[in-house]
A and B are shown apart, each in its own frame.
Chain A
C-alpha cells in the first residue's frame, strides 16, 4: 500500500510518463512493443473495415426496402403546416414591422416576395399544364414526360393585385400590404374533402391589443382582407401531391392576402387559418400546423 500512496513529485510523474511513452530497456512504446502495435492496429483496422461494411450493407438494404415515390409512413404529417411570406422572424415568432415613410424598412420585405414569386413566373411554370377542373387531379398512371406525373400550373398573375406585376411594391407603402400564404406539401393528402380549402385571416384579440385599439378612440373594426385568388381558396386540382419523384415540377398553390384597414402604429396580432376538412389548427404544441400567426405593425 505504501508505494501506491506515495506522493510523486511532478518531475517523477513526467519521468514516468516519458518512460511509458518510450521505455528504452524493454523497447516498449506506450506499453507495447512496436510489432505489437502493428498487430493491434491491423486487428482494429480489420474490425472497423468489417463494421463499416456491415453498416454500409445495412444502409444499402434499407435503401432497397424504401419506396422511392412515397415514404412508408406519414403518421407524423397528418395536417399540413402553413407558412407566410415575407417571413421575418423575431424572438417570438413571425414579426413584420415597417415604416411606410422609410422605404428601407419595407424594401427587404418586398424583395422577399419578389424572389419567392420568381418560382411562379410563366417561364418557371412552363412544364406544368393548365388545369380547369375544380376537383382533385387524381393520376393513377405516369402520363408526364420521363415517367412522371403531371402538375398544374400556378402562376403569380393568379394573385392579381398581390402578384407584384401590377404593384411591384405589394401595397407596402400604402399601408395595405400583401402577404402570401403557402400550405406545406404532403404526399397524397386530400384537403377539404371535395371542397376547396380557403384561407381566413382575423385578428387575434388579446386584451392588450383591444386596449390599444380603444385607446386610440377607434371602434374595434373587423379586419378587412382581400383574398387572391378569389375567396382565398386553394383549387382542388393542385391536390393530391404525388411526391418529388413523380411530380418534379410541382409547385404549391398560393393564396395572397391584402390587409386593407390596418391601424397604424399599433402592434397587431393576426392569424391566418386554412379552413377545410382534414386540416387541423388546434395543436397546442405546433403553432404552424393549419395556421400561421404573425405580428404586424405599420408605422408612419
Chain B
C-alpha cells in the first residue's frame, strides 16, 4: 500500500522527479511511459478464436462422430486393400460424418461469436483527454499517455484520468460511486485526513468523476496499478463457473454417449460372437453410434437459446453469454445493488414539513404535478426559498423535454430542489429573474448553510428578502420564529419539539433533510443601495423565521416493488448489497419490498420489546440489515447462518471484497446467484456470480465486461422478464430433447434387429443423418416458441441437484415407450413395402448373407421371382425411404405431444404456437423433396415411394398421441401417484 497521501507536495515532487509548476519533461515522460506502459486497463484475456473454434469441433457428441468417421475410413482402407466391390460407401460415410461435425461446429462457433459481437460494441470507449503540464506548458493529451509524476488539472465534469494525489483544490467534489457505490459526491482537499488511502481526502481515483470545482494533482498510479485496475484484476482472477445449463447439457451428452457406447460395444460383442466379420461388426458399430447420437440437437439447443436471447434483448436484457439465458431461470438468489438498479439514481424531494405537518411528494420517474396541499401561505413562503436559495440551473435549450429528463448544472440536492420547484411553480428561471439576487454565500462545510439576498418581485415592497437553507439543526439555531399557516409565531420549546420529531422521522426514513428559513430585511436599515458584503456579513443571519423542512431521497424505481414481489412468488430471494448507509438502505429495502412490511430485524424487535439486542431470539427476525463493519468480523459460519435464517437481507456499507464473500456465501448454500451491479467495485462479484447482470446506462465498462448480461434500461424489472424467459427455455429445451431422443430408438432398432434376425437393412446411416439434420431440425427449434404450460413464475426455482434437464423419466419415456411405438410403426411400413414387392416377412428372416452377396443375382422371393443384386439394393433403398417416411410421420405426432408435459394438447391449443406448424410443414416438405425430388439420385439412397406407404404409420402416430394424452390425464388426475412419479418428465 502506498503512502503518497501522507507525503507533502515537495516530498512528492522529489519522489517522482517532477515539478508542480513545470511538470515532467517530455523526454522523461516518454521514458516512464516506456517503463510503465500506457495508462489503460488491460482488457481481460480473451480465449484465442482458434481455440474456441477447435473446442466446438471436439465438444459434445463430436468426439463420438469423429470416432464413427475414423472407423468408416479404417473399414474403407481395409476393404480397399482387399479390393472389395464398393469400398467407397464407407469413405463417403466417413466424409459425411466429418462434414456434419465440422458444420455443426462452425454453426455453434458462429452463434457464439454473434452474441459476443453484440458486446464488443460496448467496450469501445471514446478516448479520453487529460490536461497535463509538461515542459512547463499546459497540454491536452490522450489519457492513456499519462505517466506517474505528471501534473494534471481537473475541472467539474471531467473523469479522473489516473490515481491522483491532489496538491491544489477549489470546491472539488468527486463522485466515487463507481468505486464505492456511495451515491453522494465526496469533497476533496489537499489535506491528509485518513491513514487509509481509500478514505483520505487528498487522493482522487481513476475512472471516478469530478462533479464540481477544480483541482490539480500529481499522478501517482497509472493503468492496472490504479485502485480500479486492482479491482478489475481481482475480477479477472475470479474463475467463471460452468453455467447450470452447460452442466445439464454435459450431463445429457454423457448420458446419450453412455447409451451409445454401451449399446455399440454390446452389439459389437454380440455380432462378433454371432460370427459376423470384424469389419462388418465395425460397420454396425458406426451405424449404432450414428443412430444414437442426436447430431442436430446441440445446434438446436444453441438456436433455441439464441432465439430466447433475441427475445430478451427486445425486452432490454442483452445476453452476452448464450448459456446465461437459462441461468437466470434457475436463479434462486438475486444480490442486487441499490443505486441505479433499485433506485432511480437521482435525488428527489420525497417529503415536506411545514405547518407542523409532514406532506409526501410524488417521487415517480415521470411526475408532472405534485398532489400535496399547496394552499397554505407557508408553502408559498417555502417555495420561494426553495426557488431562490438555489444555484442549480437547467442547461439551456431543453424546454421541450419533460422536466425530469432535463440536464441540470449543480449538485444532486440542488438539482432535486430545482426540478421539484419547476414541476410545481413552472418557470423557475423566470421567478429568479423577477427576484434579482444581490448577494449570495454558497454552501460550505463549516457554515453548513447557504444563503442569498434578493429583491422582491412586488414593486411596492422595497424590502430585501434573505433566504437560507442548510442542515436543519443549524438553521433552527438561527431562528426565533416559525411560520405556521403563513403567520410568524414565536419558536417556543413545544414547537421546537415538533420540529425535532419531524426531523427524526424524516431522517429515520433514510432521507437527507434540509431546513429552510427566511428574513425580510427592514427597508429603513437596508435601503436599495445597501452594499451587501458576503465576507464581512454586514447583514443579520439570526432571529430569522423558520419556514419548513424538505427531505430528499434517491427514490426506488416505480416498477421495482412489483418486480420484487414477482421474484418472491417465483421463490427467488432478493438480497440488497450496497455501499450506502444502513438507514438509507433499509428505507429503500422497505419501500421496494425487499424487507416486507410485516417483517422485523433483530434491532426492530429489540426496540419494540424494549430489550437489549442480545436478548432477542434471532430466529424470530425474518429480516436483517448487516453493516459492512459487522460483516468484516464475521466468520463464514456466521455468514452462512445469516443467509440461511433470514429471508430478507440487506447488506450495507460493503466493500467489493465483501460483495464477493456474500456471493460465495450464497453459492455455498447451493443457490444459483445473480448479481446486479454497475460500478467497477461490483465487477469481482459480477464475475463470481452464476450470472452477473450489469447496467447498460449507468454501468461502467469493467462491470459490463465482467457481466454475462446487460440490462439496457437499468431496470430491475427487466430481470423478472429474464427469469421468466429462462425458466421457459429450460422447460422447452426439455421438450426439444425429449422430441429428439425419441426417434433415436426408431433409428437404433433397425440395426439391432438387423444384427439379430439378419433381415435386409431397414435404414441406412445416411438416411438417419437426413432425419437428424434434415426433417427434425426445424420442428425441434419450433418447440422453443412454445408458451408456458402454467404460471412458471409461481413455482420455485429448480433445484439444480434434482431437477435435471434430462432426467430418468424423460429418457425412459422417450426411449422405451414412445420410441418403441415409433419403431413398431416404422417396421410395419418396412414389412409392408417388402411384402407387397414379393418378400413376405417370413422370407426376410435370416436372409442377410445371401441378400448382400454380390455373387447372387437370382435371389428368389416368396413368389418364386428372381432378383439381381441391384434390384435387391433398390428394394432395400425403398425400404430405407419407407422407414424414413414412417419416422417422419410419427415424429409429427411426437412433436405435437411434446408441446406439453402435463396439460392436454387441447388445453394448450394446437394452433397457438404457429411455429410448430411451420415445423410440421417443413418436416413433411423436406421428406417429400428427399423422396420424390431426389428419387433418382441413388447416392442418397432415396427412391420415389408409393404414396400410400406414407399412411401406414399414421395409426401408430395416432396411438402415440392418444397414449400421451392418457399419460398426461393420469398425471393431472393423480398428482404424486406412482404414475406421476414415473411418467412425468
Contacts and interface: CB of A to CB of B under 8 A. Distances in A.
Interface of A: 1-5, 31, 36, 39-40, 43-44, 47-48, 51, 54-55, 58-59, 62-63, 66, 69-74, 76-77, 80-83, 87, 89, 91-92, 182, 184-187, 241, 243-245, 247, 250, 283, 285-289
Nearest to B667: A1
Contacts of A55: 824, 827-828
Contacts of B982: 40, 43
17 contacts: A62-B835, A63-B835, A63-B841, A66-B840, A71-B838, A71-B863, A74-B838, A74-B865, A77-B838, A77-B865, A77-B867, A89-B855, A92-B85, A241-B864, A247-B864, A285-B938, A286-B868
A1 B837 CA distance: 59
B242 interface: yes
Contact of A76 (B241, B863, B874): B874
Interface in B805-823: 808, 816-817, 820-821
A288 B870 contact: yes
Complex A-B, nearest 7 residue pairs according to Cβ-Cβ distance, in ascending order: A244-B864, A81-B868, A184-B866, A286-B870, A71-B838, A89-B855, A72-B836
Contacts of A71: 835-838, 861-863, 865
Interface of B: 83-85, 241-242, 247, 667-668, 670, 672, 690, 800-801, 808, 816-817, 820-821, 824, 827-828, 831-832, 835-838, 840-841, 854-855, 857-858, 860-871, 874-875, 878, 938, 946, 959, 978, 982
B940 to A, nearest CB: 14
Contact of A289 (B858, B870, B938, B978): B870
B858 A91 contact: no
B865 A58 contact: no
A51 B963 CA distance: 12
Contacts of B840: 63, 66
A76 B222 CA distance: 83
A73 B668 contact: no
Residue of B821, B837, B959, B978 with highest tally of chain A CB at under 10 A: B837
Contacts of A77: 838, 865, 867, 871
A73 B836 contact: yes
A83 B820 CA distance: 42
Contacts of B241: 1, 5
Contact of A185 (B801, B862, B866): B866
Contacts of B869: 286, 288
Contacts of B854: 89
A58 B956 CA distance: 11
A187 B865 contact: yes
B864 A187 contact: yes
Given A5-B242, A58-B824, A71-B835, 8 more contacts: A2-B667, A55-B827, A76-B878, A77-B838, A244-B863, A245-B863, A285-B938, A287-B870
Nearest to B878: A76
A58 B828 contact: yes
A139 to B, nearest CB: 15
B871 A76 contact: yes
A160 to B, nearest CB: 24
Contacts, number: 135
B240 to A, nearest CB: 11
A36 to B, nearest CB: 8
Contacts of B83: 91-92
Nearest to B241: A1
Nearest to B853: A89
A40 B156 CA distance: 75
A83 B863 contact: no
A47 B84 CA distance: 45
A243 B670 CA distance: 74
A185 B837 contact: no
Given A1-B690, A71-B861, A76-B878, A62 B824 contact: no
Given A71-B836, A185-B864, A243-B863, A62 B828 contact: yes
A285 B467 CA distance: 105
B824 A54 contact: yes
Contacts of B672: 1
Contacts of A185: 860, 864-866
Contacts of A182: 858
A4 B836 contact: no
B870 A285 contact: yes
Contacts of B831: 59, 62
A39 B978 CA distance: 9
Contacts of A51: 820-821, 824
A2 B835 contact: no
Contacts of A81: 857-858, 866-868, 871
A298 B818 CA distance: 62
A31 B817 contact: no
Nearest to A69: B863
A250 B816 contact: no
Contact of A2 (B668, B816, B827, B978): B668
A250 to B, nearest CB: 7
Contacts of A48: 820
Given A76-B875, A244-B864, A288 B857 contact: yes
A250 B863 CA distance: 12
Contacts of A1: 241-242, 667, 670, 672, 690
Contacts of A92: 83, 85
B328 to A, nearest CB: 15
A243 B864 contact: yes
A76 B242 CA distance: 56
B816 A289 contact: no
Contacts of B863: 69-71, 187, 243-245
A4 B832 contact: no
A5 B511 CA distance: 45
B800 A4 contact: yes
A89 B828 CA distance: 36
Nearest to B83: A91
Contacts of B867: 77, 81, 184
A1 B871 CA distance: 60
Contacts of B865: 71, 74, 77, 184-187, 241, 243
A62 B959 CA distance: 18
B858 A184 contact: yes
A66 B835 contact: yes
Contacts of A72: 836-837
A216 B858 CA distance: 38
Nearest to B943: A76
Contacts of B875: 76
Contacts of A59: 828, 831, 841
A289 to B, nearest CB: 6
Contacts of A288: 857, 868-870
A56 B820 CA distance: 14
Contacts of A286: 868-871
Contacts of A82: 857
Residue of A48, A58, A80 with highest tally of chain B CB at under 10 A: A58
Contacts of B85: 91-92
Contacts of B668: 2
Contacts of B864: 185, 187, 241, 243-244, 247, 250
A68 B60 CA distance: 51
A81 B870 CA distance: 10
A136 B540 CA distance: 139
Contacts of B816: 44
A47 B815 CA distance: 13
B857 A76 contact: no
Contacts of A250: 864
Contacts of B817: 47
Contacts of B874: 76
Contacts of B821: 51
Contacts of B242: 1, 5
B868 A289 contact: yes
A58 to B, nearest CB: 5
A56 B6 CA distance: 94
